[in-house]
């Protein structure tokens, strides 16, 4: 069994990027504490170096939004939006089998994990962080904020700080950065790790919303127990 798992992990680590499905995720939140909630989620799927699908929805966080100044989402805008529990299976289905990508992945993935933990499951996906990738790929840049990187790569974001538009622009940024990685011969997760870029980040630590150690589980319909 252990040998089989090692072989499976080796195949995964040596799998060319072009063979992966990637999903870029961006979330907007009510605040930045453990008790805050997601109020909007945007996801963009990449297959065969092409953007093939998108998902975007406001989320009713069942609490006041105090981060409006950052994303422009106000309480009245989410009054009739679904709660996360009612879209959890759609999100799980969209990211199934994918490597996740986010700019400052620790933030977005932490809030994703908190929301899934509230409905009794967890994330167990691998992830890449375009912020960490940009710092490694472009040490000469004075900044590595998303807006700065988009400008340097001549990518237009039609609606900055909204989840759907950010996820879309991050996906286009990743595709261009991936081309530069491949030009350097960096085409697998193993080669990225050898280059000094981990494919997992701090958000993957086995910590739940209550601060207790637990083992993450792969998302399944049985875990979520949600009818869509």
For the chain, the domains span: 16-214
Residue 35: predicted pLDDT: 86
Q: Which of 58, 65, 106, 102 is closest to 84 using CA atoms?
A: 58
pTM comes to 0.84
- What is the architecture of the domain spanning 16-214? 2-Layer Sandwich (3.30)
CA distance 116 to 118: 5
Q: Give pLDDT tens digits for 36-79.
A: 999 999 999 999 999 999 999 999 999 999 988 889 899 999 99
Which segments within 166-220 are labelled E, that is strand?
none
Is the distance from CB of 22 to CB of 177 less than 8 angstroms? no
Q: Give pLDDT tens digits for 6-28.
A: 455 667 788 888 889 999 999 99
CA distance 25 to 56: 10
Name the token pair of 98: 């994918």
* Catalytic site includes residue 161: yes
Is the distance from CB of 204 to CB of 127 less than 8 angstroms? yes
CA distance 133 to 153: 14
How far, CA to CA in Å, does 137 sit from each of 15, 134, 179, 181, 196?
Answer: 21, 5, 12, 8, 11
Residue 225: predicted pLDDT: 32
- Which sign, positive or negative, has the C-alpha torsion 121, 89, 165, 79? negative
Sheet with 127-129: list strands edge to edge. Answer: 50-58, 38-47, 21-29, 99-102, 127-129
3-class SS of residue 208? coil
Q: Give pLDDT tens digits for 164-216.
A: 999 999 999 999 999 999 999 988 888 888 887 765 543 444 444 454 544 44
**Exactly one of 71, 103, 125, 161 is catalytic; which is it?**
161
Residue 77: predicted pLDDT: 94
Chain center to CA of 202? 13
Instruction: Count Cβ atoms below 10 Å from residue 24 Cβ, excluding itself.
Output: 29
CA distance 87 to 228: 8
Label the pairing between strands 127-129 and 99-102. Answer: parallel
CA distance 123 to 166: 21
Residue 9: predicted pLDDT: 64
How far, CA to CA in Å, does 154 sit from each of 85, 157, 166, 182, 219?
Answer: 37, 10, 15, 20, 36
DSSP class of residue 62?
A: S
């Amino acid at each position: 069994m252990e040998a089989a798992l090692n072989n499976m992990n080796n195949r995964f680590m040596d799998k060319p990027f072009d063979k992966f499905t990637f999903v870029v995720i961006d979330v907007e939140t009510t605040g930045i504490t453990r008790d805050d909630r997601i109020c909007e989620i945007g996801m963009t799927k990449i297959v065969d170096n092409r953007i093939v699908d998108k998902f975007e929805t406001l989320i009713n966080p069942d609490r006041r939004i105090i981060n409006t100044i950052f994303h422009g989402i106000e309480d009245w805008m989410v009054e009739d939006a679904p709660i996360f529990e009612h879209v959890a299976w759609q999100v799980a289905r969209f990211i199934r089998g994918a490597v996740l990508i986010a700019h400052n992945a620790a933030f977005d993935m932490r809030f994703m994990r908190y929301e899934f933990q509230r409905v009794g499951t967890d994330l167990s996906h691998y992830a890449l962080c375009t912020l960490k990738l940009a710092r490694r790929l472009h040490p000469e840049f004075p900044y590595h904020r998303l807006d700065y990187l988009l400008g340097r790569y001549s990518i237009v974001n039609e609606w900055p700080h909204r989840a759907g538009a950010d996820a879309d622009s991050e996906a286009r940024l990743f595709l261009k950065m991936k081309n530069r990685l491949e030009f350097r011969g960096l085409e697998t997760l193993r080669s990225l790790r050898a280059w000094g870029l981990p494919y997992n980040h701090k958000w993957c630590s086995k910590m739940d919303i209550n601060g207790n150690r637990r083992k993450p589980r792969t998302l399944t319909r049985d875990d979520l127990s949600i009818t869509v």
